[in-house]
Structure 1
Amino acid sequence: MGKPEIRFKGFTDDWEQRKLGEVIEDYVEKTTVENQYPVLTSSQQMGIVLQDDYFSGDRVSQSGNIGYFVIPRGYFAYRSRSDNDVFVFNRNDCIDKGSISYFYPVFKPSGVDSDFLLRRLNYGLETQLKIASEGTGQHVLSLKKFKNMTALFPSINEQRKIGEYFTRLDHLITLHQRKCDEVKTLKKYMLQKMFPQNGINVPEIRFSGFTDVWEQRKLGEMGSTFTGLSGKTKEDFGHGDAKFITYMNVFSNPIADLQMTETVEIDSKQNCVKAGDVFFTTSSETPEEVGMSCVMPENADNTYLNSFCFGYRPTEKFDLNYLAYVLRSESFRKEMTFLAQGISRYNISKNKVMEVEIPVPSLEEQSKVGRYFSNLDNLITLHQRKCNELRKMKKFMLQNMFPKD
């Protein structure tokens, strides 16, 4: 009845239309005492996980969980209620046996490859799911209606091939995401340890061979500020031969991304940015996000700064990578949060920022520290890019390794 566009060599038969009730079985077992099994939850991003892990280790109340459904390893569940007709089917690969809210019907595979079923249920059935769900506000999908839906299935051998392929792909995505998260955690830790805390003149961790005390210098003693774009209206943007560094570029990157610019007309009255300039955000919705900074890595013709940031131009020589990361260190970020003022929206004074001190080691040590953090960011980018590539590949293969129902 149907064939996918891409399939493994040796498989030519049509896929067979089957009711989901033919390939899954209800599983109803309920907990009889509180905390009989660890409480699980299901999310679109993480699958079925321990509830405590999903909520970042914060203890979630499990009182009253008598009568929760039991879900053994390898069995499936889905949240039966949705605000947007999106129903995600997940498998318990977490622990041997857990409990899950009665909002999650539990079922097990029957006569099908479990890895294949996991992908089959989460791709290509959106229209049927929307039709089968009921309700005007929050939609409900009963297990009975779910089992009456139909889907195309190949032979069990082809199912296994497809299931194995996507399992390997998911493992690669998980591996790179885990590596990315590990490097991010390391970076956060080293931003705390490789720059001196307030009142201390040496860092806890430093490269061998360096023993000199770090100076504490006010930013205002080592440079001056300048303003971003001024006197512009909405009509001035989106065209022209000049560019400007966007607010999100400054907010997101320790080193400015020169691809993350927008166009504006050339205006000789504006301040052009230069290599080594530092940009600071002046406003945000939370005090923790005020005064985020980035450094301009190189000269670029006719490039300005957006109007929601101010610039700082050092008059003394810095290693640019060092300057970028010392301004993202824990101690400096605490200073920015302390200086933030406001109620619904928080602002920071550039004059106050110029009064803040930063630690200044020798240029040689600056270079070592700056290169270290630059390498960490390159690793984060590498793993994140690989994750994104694999996710795109997975999306493409899901579209082409399953026939349209």
Structure 2
Amino acid sequence: MDKKKNGIPKLRFPGFTGAWEQRKLGEVAKRVTRKNKNLESTLPLTISAQLGLVDQISYFDKRIASLNLSNYILLKKGEFAYNKSYSNGYPFGAVKRLNDYDKGVIPSLYIAFDPDNIQVESNFMETYFETSLWHKEVSTRASEGARNHGLLNISPTDFMDINLMVPKLKEEQILISNFMHNFDALITLHQRKLDHLKEQKKGLLQKMFPKKGEVVPEVRFPGFTNAWEQRKFFDNIEKVIDFRGRTPKKLGMEWSAEGYTALSALNVKDGYIDFTADVHYANQDLYDKWMVGNDLYKGQVLFTTEAPMGNVAQVPDNRKYVLSQRTIAFNVDKTKVTNDFLAVLLRSQNVQHTLKSLASGGTAQGVSQKSLSQLKVIVPINPKEQQKIGDFFKQLDSLIALHQRKLDHLKLLKEGLLQQMFV
């Protein structure tokens, strides 16, 4: 029998036995309804899935004079808030605690509450609100309310009536919350390392390519002194492989359960291929009908034309791939440019800015081959300088991809732990 059905988590610290107990949120926390009557705070807050309850004055500053903050709920450090309306686009079930400020104000569309630390440890509750169990329970309650009120939201009464499963002993609650807090700190550390590497790369891309109107970069490898030259982008390209709009259905076929991986704008990331994102496969017949002899090769540059526009990666190996939605590939003129340098060139600041100016469309901007024909680039004449630049950024991209994989692994591990350590 599944231990979880008996109120016992699958993964537990040694020395703790027995089932967890079911409590209603309203039994272990009291709703906060105090108004900001005396204007104790002029700090409007909102829920961010990444940052919790955060300062949004930059958003409010043009309207803050007209806001009647005395009617807002006054929230104090350590208290929680939940946006009760699903229609406002917040992650359903997202509850966040005010950790960074002593006081703040939130609109009445939030449900605010303060935990009773004597019964349930506040840090444990913060972790509990990240579990799929909690999100499922809130979603179920809101769906039930929708049948009665016609709007997918949840009333404060129903919200405070939601069931929680908590350990009877505070000691177990504290161990769990401390463990998950340390795990979150590890994730944050890896995220900072990754962000730092990306910032370093951004800075190097600015310094190792000439600024607008110049022909010599600020930072250069030793032994190279010649000025770079301006060319039309397509002067460096022999062929563009572009299957814009092609789908299996249009070819009278379907994706397969396995086979050749499709590369699209959803898995061609900035500097690497994400083989876990929206993966589709083509069998041999679909591959032959789709690629019609245009086999991709290791190192070949891939470019996403839309949604998102401007991501650049290289084919990672000599396996066969299908070039899918909103992604094109370049066959370079090897006498003029190397693949590795082209991959970096397309991500340089000047080129990215120019691409945005050439892009068309509203929310989902994109570039066509016609737009790319207007692109001009600055390129080192010496192919050895090109290769050194390409090699340098390829190694940096590999390091960034390694840190990204580690971070993704930690997040998946946390998700698994939340599933197994809670009931």
Same fold, TM exceeding 0.5?
Answer: yes
- Specify the alignment match of 1:202 in structure 2: 216
Matched, 1:331 2:346: no
CA distance in 2, matches of 1:167, 1:158: 14
**Residue 410 of structure 2: aligned partner:** 390
- 1:6-405 aligned at under 5 Å gives the runs 6-32=11-37, 36-52=41-57, 59=61, 61-62=63-64, 63-83=67-87, 86-110=92-116, 111=118, 112-123=120-131, 124-126=133-135, 128-130=137-139, 132-133=141-142, 134-135=145-146, 136-154=149-167, 155-207=169-221, 210-228=224-242, 233-236=250-253, 238=255, 243=260, 246-248=263-265, 252-254=269-271, 262-263=281-282, 264-266=286-288, 270-275=293-298, 277-280=300-303, 284=306, 289=309, 293-296=312-315, 299-300=318-319, 305-306=323-324, 309=328, 311-316=330-335, 318-340=337-359, 347-349=367-369, 353=373, 356-360=376-380, 362-403=382-423
Between 348-357 and 360-369, the greater mean CA deviation after superposition: 348-357
Q: Which amino acid aligns with 1:375?
A: Q
Instruction: Supply the distance in 2 between the matched residues of 1:27 and 1:342 (Cα, whole angstroms).
Output: 46
Once residues 253 and 390 of structure 2 are traced to their aligned partners in structure 1, the CA distance between those partners, rounded to angstroms, is 37
SS of 2:113's equivalent in the other structure is strand
Work out whether residues 227 and 307 of structure 1, in 8 Å CA contact, stay in contact via their aligned partners in 2.
Answer: no
SS of residue in 2 equivalent to 1:266:
helix
Tell me, in whole angstroms, the C-alpha distance in 2 between the residues paired with 1:250 and 1:350.
Answer: 24
Superposed CA offset, 1:36-73 (max 9, x none): 342211133332111247x6xx8563332222222222
CA distance in 2: counterparts of 1:179 and 1:209, whole angstroms: 32
Task: Tell me, in whole angstroms, the C-alpha distance in 2 between the residues paired with 1:41 and 1:31.
Answer: 16
Residues 189 and 35 of structure 1: CA distance in aligned 2, closer, same or farther (over 3 Å): farther
* Whole-Å separation in 1 of the counterparts to 2:298 and 2:85: 54
Q: Please say if residues 30 and 114 of structure 2, whose CA atoms lie closer than 8 Å, have aligned partners that are also in contact.
A: yes
What is the rounded CA distance, in whole Å, between the counterparts of 1:76 and 1:241 in structure 2?
46
Q: Residue 81 of structure 2 aligns to which amino acid in structure 1? A: A
Q: Which amino acid aligns with 2:72?
A: Y
Structure 1 residue identity aligned to 2:252? E
Specify whether residues 313 and 297 from structure 1 end up closer, same or farther in structure 2 by C-alpha distance, changes over 3 A only. farther
- With 13-22 and 124-133 compared, the bigger mean Cα shift is at 124-133
| Distance of 1:113 and 1:351 partners within structure 2 | 58
- Once the two structures are TM-superposed, the CA of residue 257 in structure 1 deviates from its matched residue by 7.2
Matched residue SS, 2:238:
strand
Note if contact 2:9-2:421 (Cα within 8 Å) is conserved in structure 1.
yes
Q: CA RMSD in A?
A: 3.8
Q: Go from structure 1 to structure 2 and tell me whether the alpha carbon gap of 1:347 and 1:395 turns closer, same or farther (over 3 Å shift).
A: closer
Amino acid at match of 1:235: G
CA distance in 1, matches of 2:321, 2:381: 31
Moved more, 101-110 or 163-172: 101-110
The whole-number CA distance in structure 2 between the counterparts of 1:250 and 1:82 is: 29
AA at the equivalent of 1:396? G
In structure 2, the CA distance between the partners of 1:190 and 1:59, relative to structure 1 (3 Å rule), is farther
Q: Which amino acid aligns with 2:352?
A: R
Letter of the 2:165 counterpart: L
Secondary structure at the aligned position of 2:231 is classed as strand
Could you report, residue by residue, the CA deviation over 1:74-121 in whole angstroms, capped at 9, with x for unpaired residues? 111111222499222211111122222222232222112111111234
Give 1:397 deviation, angstroms: 1.6
User: 1:41/1:360 Cα in 2 relative to 1: closer, same or farther (>3 Å)?
Assistant: same
**Is contact 1:254–1:328 with CA below 8 Å preserved after alignment?**
no
Counterpart CA distance in 1 for 2:414 and 2:325 is: 40
Distance in structure 2 (CA, Å) of the matches to 1:248 and 1:224: 22
1:4 corresponding residue in structure 2: 9
In 2, Cα distance between equivalents of 1:337 and 1:349: 14
Cα deviation, 1:247-267, whole Å, max 9, x if unaligned, reads 427853446679978433436
Structure 1 residue identity aligned to 2:263? T
196-205 or 259-268: bigger deviation: 259-268
Give the Å deviation of 1:209: 5.5
- For residues 215-269 of structure 1, what are the alpha-carbon distances to aligned partners after superposition, in whole Å with 9 as ceiling and x for unaligned? 3334444442254459994225636999576342785344667997843343695
- The 1:99–1:339 alpha-carbon spacing in structure 2 relative to 1, beyond 3 Å, is closer
